[in-house]
Amino acid sequence: MTSLKTQSGDDAGAAFDEAIGAAVGTRSLIAREIGAMTAAWDEPTARADELETHRTAIAAVVKSYQEQLDKFFAVYGYSDRPGEPEAYDLPEPVLRRDSQGWSVNGQILSWLKQDITTANRAGVEASRKMLAGKPRREVREATVSLVDTLHSLEQRAAQLGEQRDAILRERDEDVASRRVAAEQAVESEMAKLTAVEHLLPAGLRPWADPAWLDWSPEFTHSMVLLGSFRLRFGALPGPINGFASNVKTPVFASVRDGLHISHRRDEREKAVALARSLVLRALASTPPGKLRLSIFDPTGLGQSVASLLELGEYDRELIGGKVWSSNEDLHRLLAEATGQIEQVIQKYLRAEYDTLAEFNAAAGEIAEPYRMVIIFDAPTGFDERSVAELQRIAENGPRCGIATLLLSDEDLQAPFGVSLDALPSSLARIRLGQSFVDSEVSSDVQFDLLPETDAEAPKEVVASLVGVVGRSTQEATATTVGFDKIFDLFVAAALEGRKRDLPRLTAPLVAADPESWWTQSTIRGVAAPIGQRGARDVATLSFDSSDHAGALLVGRPGSGKSTLLHSFIRGATTMYGPEELELHLIDFKEGVEFKVYAAEALPHARTVAIESDREFGVSVLEAINEELRWRASLLRGSAESHSSLESLRAATGDPLPRIVLVFDEFQVLFSRTDKLGGVAAEALETLIRQGRGFGIHVILGSQSLAGLDALGAHVPQLLPVRILLPASESDAAKVLGEGNTEGSALTSAGEGILNTAAGAVEANERFRGALIDEADRRRHVATARAKADQTGFLRRPVVFEGNAPIPAERTRPADFADEIRGADPRTLRLRFGTPMAVMGTADLDLRRESGGNVLLVARDQPQAGVDGFSLPQAVAANVTLSAVARRAAVEVVDFMPIEEGLESFLVPLLEAGAATANRRRAVPELLTRIDAEVQKRVAEDDTAAPPLLLVLYGMHRARDFDPDSVDFDSEVDLPELLARILRDGPEVGVHAFLWFDSVAGIARRLPAGAVREASWRIAGRMSEDDSISLVGSEAATSLRDQQLVVANEDRGILQRCTAISQPGEEWTRELLAQASQDRKEPIG
């Protein structure tokens, strides 16, 4: 008896065991009762037959001699017949058996012969002597003797007939009684089956069962309902015939062991319907997505499985991509199945497991899917080679999870040399239309198989089943292994020391226990788990200073690429502390995959870029290359003979960290063959070629390797470690190589191949990626940050978020003030943004020289995804606070309407006396005073006076500067006054910041030539012509909403920057407190 097992290995087949026990028990009972009834019939029947034989033998003798006697009387005309005969005791035995059968005792026969002979002789004599008395007496005596003997024989025959009839009556009564009892026993046994049928999963019930109407994929087992057995009618004698003729008992089969259904041509549709039923039940009995079909239909061309084709709309791999039909297709299909068997044996079973089911049980889940090879209309399409291939699959496939479902047409003429008789006996064979015996019951009882075909399944049930399997497959294939599980496998393997690429652990590491973290050194390499390989093994991404220099990771959207990177980052930051491992995390795609590492300030991260721009990516590459050159310089002149992190640490005595650059969607950096792309390509190739010797490694991730215009095709191939997730055929070939086609089997998110030998086939390692949800990532990073802070490691990553301004609060007010005051005392340093680079600054150092003014040209418009962000307000606010932190006098003129201007920002500054606000009508007096102060300083050659910053916000709204303006005293020429301040002020510490919303507005407000006095130009996104006019380059044409270009032609500066957001009131007040003690009074 076969038991069902759930995926977890627990016995879930109690109901099934009872059902199959009741089914087999019923058939056994039927067989036993038939045997008993047949015996009860046969033995008396045999005795009755023997008595009948005896009677017949006697009757034949009586008849023969009676006929002779009647002839005698007729011939001789005797009317004086004997009277009533008298019976006498015949000599025993009356019958004897000889070679001819049964015959009457010879003595009796001699008597009869003598009597008839005497009668005939005497009759002749009497006829001649009509009055002769003696002959007549002899005739009478002979005939009387003959009649008496025949009468005695007739009595004996009658006795035998009565005995026979009595035996038969007793037999019939006994058998009838037995049948009634047998039918009751069968009914009782069938009641056991009925009692548990409702407990069976739908897959083991008839299609007509209501359980199919609300079926869901909950029960995992290898058995399916094949049909039912019914006793073959007409094969039993007498009253036994028809016994149990209406009793149907279910027949279950294990489709994983394979099945061969042979049929006549006129039974093809029935056979195909049975095959479809078995496949549907197999799908219903296997976890979604864990049974994959390969179908060969040379006659139907797919019609044979039409009801299953919808599965391909959910996941093409469920039906093997398509239904195959040509001879070449059959060869390819069988070759793929053979290759899968080889892979399962070599990568999963090895010497540890006997079957794939054992392997999956050890994994605690179906880690490797089952497969079914379905072939219709054999031997169509077969040749000697394909038959031999099929034979190997049928023999070795079941233990490797590959079942064969073969349908053969007995009426088809097989090609020369092709015979399906060579298929192994382990492939169970069903011949439709022929009787069956149940080997578990008796070989003497014949049953008819009533197959359970899908023709008996309502169309809505089939459609529902296919839909549920398809949708559940999509949901199931989106799942991956939990990170904690693979990390435990990783730690266990490292503790055992059975893999060379794993760290040498001496104590357990627990992902959930921060106290156990950061115990490992990266001196020999860095390794972290990325997925589960096999039942108890783990896929490990590792780097060292020799063979494993870097990795190439490719997977189409949704393949699990980002999840894999998260797994590596979490594993690595659990194993190694931030002093041992430094990460640069750059993501070029639109998304927030790395945002948690910036938001929670992962201590290992040196830089984090989200939706990065190419400029920032190049900056990261250049920064790491600078680190490489510095590390290389450390080895020069040292006693170390070769470059490695171990050598570096020996030369310096410092715990230099191993560096890993993670470039996701790196192809964006090389999508254009411009100068930036060329610089990036050169820097990346240098890192890949030279970095490993200095503890620097690269992970390049991409959805596709197409479009790397600026990067030579040879560069990714320099990376020896390849990771392929589901991807296009062309990308798979680029990653693993043309001869390594295993990537075509990757269809589900999270499935992957790790290859550490540049794509060599023998180095393929299939794995399933680990899953870490966002909440887990955030908790891990926050815990790591807290742990680092406790140990005094306070470094925060440089963060670039391409589609958002830099939060002002990211810098503490005290640090802001210190950095602003770090310039020369006579230099006014203004901050408005950060450069799109790892190192350097975008601060404007306004020296006491001509041109020391700032011109901002940018539109003030709502920014997508950033609530309340105004680019001009943010720049003006940060510039103003910079001047306040520098203890400069600040005069602000806001030409904008109240709701669009700086009024709310200025409130804390005005309350603290750190700035003075002026409205439009105060401008003439203000400019007059500032101009007087400038002229006074110039006259006195006072270059050490305290700095003053004039902020003119919204000059495009300052109509008073129009040449035709008559609003002010005609004696004050505002444009000319402002032009003089711009020209003479910077040399004596008086600087101006002006904001216009367009380049065209400048000419309407400033006199000709005045714009040249602002050598610092800041531009938001604008047209190419305006960009060239303002900053001498088209750099401002491709800016994002929060980006700016700063230019200073005199100093050769052209830099792309990200704006800093307008600081909040709390931050502003804290900064004011820092500057309040020594703030200078405004000019008065």
Q: Give the separation between CA 620 and CA 664, rounded to whole angstroms.
A: 13
List, for residues 1035-1063, the tens digit of each pLDDT value.
Answer: 999 898 899 999 999 999 999 999 999 99
What percent of the chain is modeled with pLDDT above 70?
92
Of 442-451, 504-513, 970-979, which gets the smallest average pLDDT? 442-451
Q: Give the separation between CA 107 and CA 117, rounded to whole angstroms.
A: 15
Burial letters for 859-889: b for 16+ Cβ neighbours within 10 Å, e otherwise?
eeeebeebeebbbbbbbbbbbbbbbbbbbbb
In this predicted structure, the answer to whether residue 439 has a pLDDT above a threshold of 70 is no
Q: What pLDDT is attached to residue 389? A: 94
Tokens representing 136? 């007549």
Neighbours of 644 (CB within 10 A): 21
Q: Give the separation between CA 297 and CA 276, rounded to whole angstroms.
A: 12
Neighbours of 72 (CB within 10 A): 18
Of 397-406, 480-489, 946-955, which gets the smallest average pLDDT? 480-489
Tell me which residue has tokens 């306070």. 794
In this predicted structure, the answer to whether residue 1081 has a pLDDT above a threshold of 50 is no
* Residues 228/453, Cβ–Cβ less than 8 Å: no
**Most confident residue range from 524-528, 615-619, 670-674:** 524-528
Q: Give the separation between CA 268 and CA 262, rounded to whole angstroms.
A: 9
Largest CA distance in the chain: 202
Q: How would you class 131 by CB atoms within 10 Å of its CB: exposed for 0-12, middle for 13-18, buried for 19 or more?
A: exposed
Q: Quick one: pLDDT band at residue 632, thresholds 50, 70, 90?
A: confident
Q: Which helix (H) or strand (E) holds 874?
A: helix 871-885
The per-residue pLDDT of the chain, averaged, comes to 87
In this predicted structure, the answer to whether residue 823 has a pLDDT above a threshold of 50 is yes
Q: What pLDDT is attached to residue 907? A: 94
Q: What are phi and psi of 397, to 5 degrees?
A: -65, -45
Tokens representing 818? 């210190």
Q: Give the separation between CA 913 and CA 314, rounded to whole angstroms.
A: 69
In this predicted structure, the answer to whether residue 1066 has a pLDDT above a threshold of 90 is yes
Q: Quick one: pLDDT band at residue 693, thresholds 50, 70, 90?
A: confident
* Residues 929/923, Cβ–Cβ less than 8 Å: no
Q: What pLDDT is attached to residue 12? A: 42
What are the beta bridge partners of residue 293? Answer: 372
* Residues 1068/1062, Cβ–Cβ less than 8 Å: no
Classify 1076 as helix, strand or coil. Answer: helix
The 3-class secondary structure across 490-502, one letter per residue, is HHHHHHHCCCCCC
In this predicted structure, the answer to whether residue 964 has a pLDDT above a threshold of 70 is no
Q: Give the separation between CA 558 and CA 542, rounded to whole angstroms.
A: 24
Q: What pLDDT is attached to residue 916? A: 95
Tokens representing 103? 């015959």
* Residues 742/706, Cβ–Cβ less than 8 Å: no
In this predicted structure, the answer to whether residue 949 has a pLDDT above a threshold of 60 is yes
Q: What pLDDT is attached to residue 134? A: 79
Q: Give the separation between CA 1018 and CA 993, rounded to whole angstroms.
A: 10
Classify 460 as helix, strand or coil. Answer: helix
Q: What is the arithmetic mean of pLDDT over 780-786?
A: 96
In this predicted structure, the answer to whether residue 403 has a pLDDT above a threshold of 50 is yes
Q: What is the arithmetic mean of pLDDT over 32-56?
A: 91
In this predicted structure, the answer to whether residue 966 has a pLDDT above a threshold of 70 is no
Q: Give the separation between CA 12 and CA 1036, rounded to whole angstroms.
A: 69
What percent of the chain is modeled with pLDDT above 90?
46
Quick one: which of 357, 365, 359, 587 has its CA closest to 480? 365
Burial letters for 329-357: b for 16+ Cβ neighbours within 10 Å, e otherwise?
bbbebbebbbebbebbeebbbeeebeebb
Q: Give the separation between CA 818 and CA 840, rounded to whole angstroms.
A: 16
User: Strand pairing of 291-296 and 481-482?
Assistant: unpaired
Quick one: which of 317, 273, 220 has its CA closest to 459? 273
Quick one: which of 785, 815, 806 has its CA closest to 601? 785
The DSSP code sequence of 430-488 is EETTSEEEETTTEEEEEEEEEE--GGGS-HHHHHHHHHHHHHHHHHHHT--EEHHHHHH
List, for residues 163-180, the tens digit of each pLDDT value.
Answer: 999 999 999 999 999 999
Quick one: which of 766, 209, 227 has its CA closest to 539? 766
In this predicted structure, the answer to whether residue 842 has a pLDDT above a threshold of 70 is yes
In this predicted structure, the answer to whether residue 609 has a pLDDT above a threshold of 90 is no
In this predicted structure, the answer to whether residue 780 has a pLDDT above a threshold of 90 is yes
Task: List the Cα angle 366/371/375 in 5-degree steps.
Answer: 165
Cα distances (Å, whole numbers) of residue 1006 to 168, 459, 960, 1014? 134, 82, 11, 11
Q: What is the arithmetic mean of pLDDT over 278-298?
A: 91
Q: What pLDDT is attached to residue 407? A: 95
Peptide bond into 93 cis (omega under 30): yes
Q: What are phi and psi of 697, to 5 degrees?
A: -135, 160
In this predicted structure, the answer to whether residue 385 has a pLDDT above a threshold of 80 is yes
List, for residues 713-767, the tens digit of each pLDDT value.
Answer: 778 888 999 999 999 989 999 999 888 888 887 877 888 999 999 988 888 998 8
Q: How would you class 477 by CB atoms within 10 Å of its CB: exposed for 0-12, middle for 13-18, buried for 19 or more?
A: buried
Q: What pLDDT is attached to residue 9? A: 34
Q: What are phi and psi of 585, to 5 degrees?
A: -110, 110
Q: What pLDDT is attached to residue 1082? A: 42
Quick one: which of 628, 228, 625, 226 has its CA closest to 428? 226
Cα distances (Å, whole numbers) of residue 267 to 226, 272, 279, 434? 17, 9, 19, 12
Q: What pLDDT is attached to residue 591? A: 58
Neighbours of 741 (CB within 10 A): 15
Q: What are phi and psi of 736, to 5 degrees?
A: -95, -20
Q: What pLDDT is attached to residue 74? A: 83
45 CB-near residues (< 8 Å, 6+ apart): 168, 171, 237
Q: Give the separation between CA 551 and CA 587, rounded to whole angstroms.
A: 16
Chain centre distance of CA 241: 56
- What's the start-to-end Cα distance of the chain, in Å? 105
pTM listed for this prediction: 0.68
Task: List the Cα angle 258/263/264 in 5-degree steps.
Answer: 165
**Most confident residue range from 98-102, 352-356, 414-418, 800-804:** 352-356
Q: What pLDDT is attached to residue 2? A: 35
Q: Give the separation between CA 749 and CA 556, rounded to whole angstroms.
A: 9
Classify 789 as helix, strand or coil. Answer: helix
Quick one: which of 759, 802, 296, 281 has its CA closest to 554? 759
* Residues 116/67, Cβ–Cβ less than 8 Å: no
Q: What pLDDT is attached to residue 142? A: 85
Q: Give the separation between CA 123 and CA 100, rounded to whole angstroms.
A: 34
Q: What pLDDT is attached to residue 1080? A: 46
Task: List the Cα angle 552/678/609 in 5-degree steps.
Answer: 55
Classify 411 as helix, strand or coil. Answer: coil
Neighbours of 954 (CB within 10 A): 23
Q: Give the separation between CA 731 and CA 158, rounded to whole angstroms.
A: 99
Q: What pLDDT is attached to residue 480? A: 59
In this predicted structure, the answer to whether residue 614 has a pLDDT above a threshold of 90 is no
The number of CA neighbours under 13 Å toward the Cβ of 221 is 26
Tokens representing 997? 């919303």
Cα distances (Å, whole numbers) of residue 539 to 149, 536, 758, 764, 767? 105, 10, 16, 11, 6
Higher pLDDT, 841 or 407: 407
Q: Give the separation between CA 221 and CA 290, rounded to whole angstroms.
A: 12
Higher pLDDT, 796 or 672: 796
Quick one: which of 923, 912, 914 has its CA closest to 953? 923
**DSSP type of residue 93:** P
Quick one: which of 508, 518, 514, 507 has its CA closest to 487? 508
